[in-house]
Structure 1
């Protein structure tokens, strides 16, 4: 059964989304691409390859092993820069050099260690991440003056990018956005007294839409590239990139009252027509999706009935006309977004994409199909 399951990824749409963001940023700013977590579950090799072919030259991954894999995928693109967002662990320094990776230094201790290492080892320019209010990863801005004073040559010669991360960019009116921007601008001004040429990066996908002041030199979109909505309060400006349609295994006509699925949690009153499809939580479909999840069959929205099982789901297809025995129920596509399915399961579109299971064969469209 699992061999019948596949998720279709439109690489042409991903490339178009990158071009749209680059156009929005303008010629004087660079649109990078976040391809960590296997390009949000869609395939790092394929996605990064299509983005590089479209003109993207700056990529961001989570760790050194992801960076090494990405470098092997992009060997034909000699000028590609790969930043490692979690920095470099002790003992991984040589691997960073071997694969020409640019560590994003995320703590005072990591800055000191990498500064010492690079005195004897030439490599790619690194980046330093600042904590401007999210309190996740990053050097506290209060530690910055001491680090600049202790390692002026390092900051002037080895640090090529200063970055931070917005906590609430998808909420444009949240006061923390302006607070983080001000903190970052102040820190950047201080660093540029030591290194006037250093580039800056603050905007993620949603940050690109907050206004020019947030965009700086390099933007780091991830979600928007993959079709997730960077402007949740407005219509999604990005193209859909993923289609997941599950094959119908069986249909059943019922009358009277009938329970459906584990726990007898759902009860339908007939006459109703039900369809059981292949796919379940083993394929990354959230068990919590019931009762809000919907699918689409022959242009008709059909509700999920009963709990999600490991390998199957059941939909009420009473309103669908015609023969559906060899049909498929779409649960991701142009009309049903990952954002919507995430909301149905009480989560977000990011998790919907990154949880797509290994049993789903990835099929790729290269153009605007």
Structure 2
């Protein structure tokens, strides 16, 4: 994207990413801190994120698909890389060639991987996923007990893992139930490293009855500046900054309808700035304003400027009436996401979560790495 033509610019602070990883690693020094870099590292760029996190000290990475593992391997030749979405039929040799470890979540996957390793002599390193309450991927507790009672999976797993379903709500009893069940199942193979904590589990740290860290933690969204525990005490640095270009300033009287559907009318004589970004650039339509619902805000310096009316595919109107005259002109940039508007702030204004904000980052921005 040519810098002079872009309607938005996206700045990614790799040092902040590294600082967030270090802060999360320090929460439980007895447990390894891995990094989840699936979905193009939550939208910021997988090769750049893996390289930066490797320099910070990360040695284990998690992705969702094998092609992501291949990209991560190119950026971190010596890293351990797990593929969360399992082993598609007939792909074991592809995993071995990529030196990627599948996270096996069914008896069929485990049997196929064990047979491949036995027939070829390939490295059998893989994780086994145990379902402790997410009801998504993984062996049920009964299946896990039966497997280990009958002699195990046919190879030595490199990791036993499960996934927390409710740790972003610290008062939910399900987290303690999952921790206790995972500890019980892990005791069936006590010499295998264990992993339970995601971002929320890493930030929560423990339940009343025990530590959530185990041997390895898997923070994802928190690395990128989003805190899944609303109001949590750990301060995470913003990694992503989005700025939008002003393409027009216009004066309108009170009572003027703005945007599609005319859902919001101005309450005073208003100066509008029209910005050259929209929902095609990752700013959700739901963040727009209406007469009965205030929208999200952009910032001009320290001044909040609410969105006015519905967000279009390519345009957003904001109220800049309170910006001093002459302080904003055509071609200037305003903050949509950054120091004043966090990932979670924009998510709440959009009725969604920080994960979706990050992974929806548009491809039309001028993208810069700081």
TM-score band, normalised by shorter chain: over 0.9
Aligned equivalents of 1:305, 1:3: Cα separation in 2: 22
2:188 partner SS: helix
User: What's the counterpart of residue 309 of structure 1?
Assistant: 312
TM-score (norm 1): 0.93
- 1:194-243 deviation per Cα after TM superposition (whole angstroms, max 9, x unaligned): xx2x1000001110132351000000001110000143133451111111
Q: Distance in 1 between matches of 2:17 and 2:25?
A: 12
- Summarize deviations over 1:90-119 as a string: whole Å, max 9, x none: 121111000100110011211122112211
For the pair 1:271 / 2:276, whether they are aligned, the reply is: no
Tell me if the contact between 1:204 and 1:220 (Cα under 8 Å) persists in the aligned partners.
Answer: yes
Show the counterpart of 1:84.
83
| Residue 53 of structure 2 is aligned to residue 48 of structure 1 | no
Equivalent residues in 2 for 1:15-54 (5 A)?
15-26=18-29, 28-54=30-56
Query: 1:10 maps to what in 2?
Result: 13
- 2:214 aligned residue: 216
How many angstroms does 1:4 deviate by? 4.2
Q: Check conservation: 1:64, 1:92, Cα contact below 8 A.
A: no
Which residue number in structure 1 is paired with residue 355 of structure 2? 350
Runs of 4+ residues deviating >6 angstroms: none
Distance 1:178 1:110, change over 3 A: same
The number of equivalent residue pairs is: 355
Q: Secondary structure at the match of 1:269?
A: coil
Structure 2: any 5+ residue segments left out of the alignment?
Answer: 290-294
Looking at structure 2, the residues matched to 65 and 256 of structure 1 have their Cα atoms a distance apart, in angstroms, of: 54
> What CA deviation, in whole Å up to 9, does each residue of 1:8-32 have, x standing for no partner?
0100000011111111111x31100
- Cα shift at 1:335: 1.4
CA distance in 2 between counterparts of 1:152 and 1:256 reads 73
Task: Report the secondary structure of 1:252's partner residue.
Answer: strand
1:96 corresponds in structure 2 to 95
Match of 2:251 in 1: 253
Q: Secondary structure at the match of 1:233?
A: coil
How far apart are the structure 1 equivalents of 2:244 and 2:60?
35
Alignment match, 1:57: 59
Partner in structure 2 of residue 161 of structure 1: 159
Q: Secondary structure at the match of 2:133?
A: coil
> Do 1:2 and 1:360's aligned partners in 2 also have CA atoms closer than 8 Å?
no
Query: For residues 253 and 236 of structure 1, what CA distance do their matches in structure 2 show?
Result: 43
Q: CA deviation at 1:152?
A: 3.2
2:197 to 190, 203, 211: 203
Task: Give yes or no for contact 1:161–1:200 (8 Å, CA) kept in 2.
Answer: yes
Identify the residue that residue 280 of structure 1 maps to in structure 2. Answer: 278
* Alpha-carbon displacement from aligned partner over 1:67-126 (angstroms, at most 9, x marks no partner): 112112223xx2x10000011111211110001001100112111221122112312510
- In the TM superposition, what is the alpha-carbon distance from 1:298 to its structure 2 partner? 2.1
Instruction: Say whether the 8 Å CA contact 1:7–1:243 is kept in structure 2.
Output: yes
**Aligned mates of 2:101, 2:151 — CA distance in 1:** 18
- Counterpart CA distance in 1 for 2:194 and 2:232 is 28
With normalisation by structure 2, the TM-score equals: 0.92
Cα deviation code 1:9-58 (max 9, x no counterpart) = 100000011111111111x3110000000000010000110000111000
SS of the residue corresponding to residue 247 of structure 1 reads: strand
Equivalent residue number for residue 174 of structure 1: 172
For residue 139 of structure 1, give the secondary structure of its aligned residue in structure 2.
coil
What SS is found at the alignment partner of 2:183? helix
Q: Kindly indicate whether the alpha-carbon contact (under 8 Å) linking 2:222 and 2:228 is maintained by their aligned counterparts in 1.
A: yes
State the partner residue of 1:334: 339
Higher mean alpha-carbon deviation, 160-169 vs 317-326, is at: 317-326
1:8/1:242 contact within 8 Å kept? yes
The Cα of 1:3 is off from its aligned counterpart by: 2.5
Q: Deviations over 1:103-153 (max 9, x none)?
A: 100112111221122112312510001100110111111101222244537
**Distance in 1, Cα, partners of 2:9 & 2:296:** 19
Q: Give the drift of 1:357.
A: 1.0
